[in-house]
A and B are shown apart, each in its own frame.
Chain A
Amino acid sequence: MTQSITCKKVTSLLALYIDNKLDPRMQLFVKQHLEICPYCHKKYIMLKQLISELRNAYKDMIQDTAAEEKHRQFNIKEYEKFHTNLSAYFDNELPLNESVSMKKYMIKFPNARKDLEEMYNLHKIINSSLLCVKKTLNEDYSKTICYRVLGKNPDFKKQITLKIASFVGIIIMLATLITANIPIGKTVKEKSIKLFKKTIYVHSPINHELASDLMQ
């Protein structure tokens, strides 16, 4: 029983003993026990090995991190390339191979996607702004421009009234000429009919096809 209690005590002190962290009296006590107890000695060997393995693994890890740091510094150039190409990638203006490597880069570094999202957000707010600005134009220039192109008076109503008045006037005159039994020559009558059809063609704003049928 006393043996077992000592073993328990020694086991709990083993880690400190390996690191030499016990006071000299206790250090000696553990040392002496290990010399006489094969059970504790075995535990001690196992623990010592485990600790040294852990320490080595930790050292490796530190070295790896340092290497990775070096590697990451190298990647800043890669990131810069990514960043300068991002705008053209967004506009679908990159050659296929470069576009593929952009995609690969974003898979490797998911954070890089955020840059792309920000660019998309910029695109979205610019376009919402565009809609706002478009709404501020309340005038309609279409008629004014059309008349300017035609080289005519932009006063639309005046134009139309004038057109209709002359159209009606000429038709009435010609119709009277044709239908009335005024003794005019055959050639004059034919000329009048022709002129009548022509008037319809020139002045009618819509039925150009109908008018051209009449002309034949």
Chain B
Amino acid sequence: MHLVKRHHKNLSRDNLILLAQQDDYHALEELIKREQKNVYASFYYLDPNRQDIPDLTQEALFRMAKNIKKLRDPKKFQSWFNQIITNLFHDEMRKKYKKPQTLSIDADTSEQSNIVNITELRDKKKLPAESTLAGELNNKIISAIHTLPEPFRVAIVLRELQGLSYEEISNITQTSIGTIKSRIARARTKLQENLKPYLIQ
């Protein structure tokens, strides 16, 4: 049994996916082990209220594990899984806020109006490393991302943290590539403004 597990640890993600699709639960377990921190971090940056992040993480992992057989091409795992994460996040947001937050910001698809800050960040918890300099910078980065309006936040998380292409992000968010391009550019400009002192070397 240990031998099997050790063997799985050396497998590529693509191979783990292929095995998991054939009911190899050790492969599925290893796949979850590898992905869970990434999923957790995604929700951490996506959700400014930072409530139920462990629950959301587990739910996303469960949906991934349950539906793994539906994924045809292991190469598309990253994009496919992020679709699950993004959908789950949007469902949660819809549950929490009666009015969808996206409405007011999506009205500016002309991309002319300024990015508005979301001022109320309720129950803002800080990371344990807060006291150190690196921890302070880390908190600044996280809150800078959290102050981005939702569509911009989603776009920058999918690009900068998940490394997805504009086309993949456009498919996940059901938005045109042009809009994605502009959202990422503007999110970066906003982050650069807020993090200016840490960017000049």
Contact = CB atoms under 8 A, between A and B. Distances in A.
Contacts of A87: 181, 184-185, 188
Contact of A123 (B1, B134, B138, B160): B160
A88 B195 CA distance: 20
Contact of A134 (B30, B41, B137, B191): B41
Contact of A125 (B38, B41, B45, B199): B199
A204 B188 CA distance: 55
A133 B47 CA distance: 13
B46 to A, nearest CB: 12
Interface of A: 84, 86-88, 91, 93, 117-119, 121-123, 125-130, 132-137, 139-146, 148-150, 205-206
B141 A145 contact: no
Contacts of B152: none
Interface string B35-69: 01110110011000000001001100110011000
B32 interface: yes
A145 B160 contact: no
Given A132-B134, A133-B127, A149-B66, A126 B141 contact: yes
Contacts of A139: 54
A133 B1 CA distance: 32
Main secondary structure of the interface of B (DSSP, over half): helix
Nearest to B185: A87
A141 B61 contact: yes
B37 to A, nearest CB: 4
A88 B189 CA distance: 12
Interface of B: 1, 4, 25, 28-30, 32-33, 36-38, 40-41, 44-45, 54, 57-58, 61-62, 65-66, 127-129, 134-135, 137-138, 141-142, 145, 159-161, 165-166, 181-182, 184-185, 188, 191-192, 195, 198-201
B16 to A, nearest CB: 12
Contact of B127 (A86, A117, A121, A136): A136
**6 tightest A-B CB contacts, nearest first:** A87-B185, A142-B32, A134-B37, A129-B141, A137-B40, A142-B29
Given A87-B181, A91-B166, A129-B138, A145 B195 contact: no
B185 A130 contact: no
A129 B65 CA distance: 27
Contact of B129 (A93, A132, A206): A132
A141 B57 contact: yes
A139 B55 CA distance: 12
B137 A129 contact: yes
Contact of B33 (A119, A122, A135, A140): A140
Contacts of A86: 185
Contact of A206 (B1, B54, B195): B1
Contacts of A122: 188, 191-192, 195, 199
A142 B184 contact: no
Contacts of B159: 91
B32 A141 contact: yes
Given A91-B159, A122-B195, A146 B25 contact: yes
Contacts of A93: 165-166, 181
B37 A149 contact: no
A200 B4 CA distance: 19
Contacts of B192: 118-119, 122
B32 A146 contact: yes
A144 B181 CA distance: 39
A164 B37 CA distance: 33
Nearest to B128: A136
28 contacts: A86-B185, A87-B184, A88-B184, A91-B159, A91-B184, A93-B165, A93-B181, A118-B192, A122-B195, A123-B160, A126-B145, A129-B141, A130-B41, A132-B127, A132-B135, A132-B138, A133-B41, A133-B44, A133-B45, A133-B127, A136-B44, A136-B128, A137-B57, A141-B61, A142-B29, A145-B65, A146-B28, A206-B1
